[in-house]
Structure formats: structure tokens, C-alpha cells
Amino acid sequence: MAPNFNVIAFDADDTLWHTESLYVEVEAEIIPILAPYQSQDIIEQVMHSNEIRNLEFYGYGIKSFILSLVESAVQISQSRIPGNDILRIIELGKEMLSAKIQLFEQTQPTLDKLSSSYPLMLITKGDLNEQEPKIKRSGLLDYFKYIEILSDKTPSSYSSILRRYEINPTQFLMVGNSLRSDIAPVLSLGGWAVYIPYTNSWSHENASIPESSKERFYVIKHLGELPDLLSQLVNQ
């Protein structure tokens, strides 16, 4: 049976605009700073371990990332790292927070096409004081009827959104680059999902898709393919 979508929702970071590349660039700058103290493999292992462990305390986003890097730098150097290197890490975080938003080439044309036919929703996760300015700087604010900023994306948080806006899960489509955050939770509720793989996807965001959900799960190469996919779905 063809779906009748009431709302199409989009993830923000690495779905509408580039974000993970900022993290990759900062890590590449940090490694030479820490190279006198440990091998690159050890540095990367410690940074990754601290980043994942600290999600419980700091949540998602740049501030959490930078705090974890400072902790990693102190651990890796056994507290020998000089203050000016710590300040450089903090400065890199500030640069990330004020970085220009780089939209994907297909973002605005796709939102232009879809916003005339569907109510659009933006669902992102992270620090409120970080995400709100990014959304404003993106220039995309007017495309979205609804905007939700979550501390994490779970079946429970999606379920709360659907209840709040009285959206039937079977009429809800989520578009994103994270299997763990954007795709799997929505499929578990009976919704539909479109996955757009990103080149530098964070391993923490991987997940498996149950066979029972795969009839509501689609993969496209880039956002520009979404309008044609939707046309095929609603007319099947």
C-alpha cells in the first residue's frame, strides 16, 4: 500500500549541511600536538574512548567533543602538556562553533521542491545553544514548519514528537545520515526512513536494520534523489 506522508522530517548535521568534516579536521590538528607523548593509534583510541564515555555526562556536540579532547590530552601526556596547547584545543572548539555552514549542493533545491507539497520538520540533536545558532546561520529556517532539538534521538524521543503533533507513525518519514539516530528508532515505531550515507560517518552512529522493517527503509546517494523517490512511493 502506498504511504501517505503527513510530515517529512530531516536530520540536520551531515544530512543538510557538512559537520563531521569539522571534527575530522580538528582531530587531524590535535594528533601532531600529542605525537610527542604517544603513537597515533593510541592517541586515536584514547580520544574515541573518552568521547563515547563522556556522552553520558556532556551529551552530543562540539562542547562535549572539546572537553573530551582536553581530557584526552592530559591523559595521553600524563599531565605534561603545556597550557598553550590546551588553549589551542579550546580555540579550535570556538572556531568550530562559529564555522560557516556549508550546505550540501542539493539541500536548497530539494527543500524548495518538497516544502510546497509537504509540511517539513527538522529534528536534530545536541546542545540547544549550539544547534539553534547553526539552524539560523544555515538560512533554512523558513522551510520548516516544526523544529525539534533533542538531547538524543531514541524511540522514546521520536514517539514524544509524534504524539505532540498528532502524527501517525505510518505517515511519518525521517531522512538522515545516521542509522542509529535517524533511521532505526523511526522504523521501530512503524515509520518510514530514508538513509543518505555520509563519507565520514561516526562509527558510534552505526546500527543494523531488522528484516521486518526493510520494506519501509530506503537508501539514496544524495538528497537530490529524494523527490523522485517520494514520487515513486506515493504513486506505487
Of residues 74, 99, 98, the one with CA closest to residue 86: 74
Cell numbers standing for residue 121: 520538520
Rounded Cα distance between 163 and 172, Å, is 12
Of residues 23, 85, 29, the one with CA closest to residue 60: 23
To the nearest whole number, what is the mean pLDDT of the chain?
A: 92
The answer to whether the CB of 195 falls within 8 A of the CB of 218 is yes
* pLDDT attached to residue 200: 58
The answer to whether the CB of 127 falls within 8 A of the CB of 61 is yes
Span 220-230, mean pLDDT? 96
Q: What's the pLDDT band for 234 if we cut at 50, 70, 90?
A: confident
Rounded Cα distance between 111 and 105, Å, is 11
Q: What's the pLDDT band for 236 if we cut at 50, 70, 90?
A: low
* pLDDT value at 102 more than 60: yes
* pLDDT attached to residue 39: 97
What sign has the CA pseudo-torsion 156, 190, 118, 194? positive
* pLDDT value at 92 more than 80: yes
Which residues neighbour 182 within 8 Å (Cβ) at sequence distance 6 or greater? 11, 15, 123, 153, 174, 175, 176, 193, 195
Domains, in order of start, for the chain: 7-17+101-234 (3.40.50.1000), 20-97 (1.10.150.240)
* pLDDT attached to residue 213: 74
Rounded Cα distance between 23 and 25, Å, is 5
Q: 177-214 pLDDT, tens per residue?
A: 999 999 999 999 999 999 999 875 545 455 667 676 78
* pLDDT value at 17 more than 90: yes
H-helix segments, 11-61:
20-34, 40-53, 55-58
Pick the more confident residue, 219 or 201: 219
Q: 19-73 pLDDT, tens per residue?
A: 999 999 999 999 999 999 999 999 999 999 999 999 999 988 999 999 999 999 9
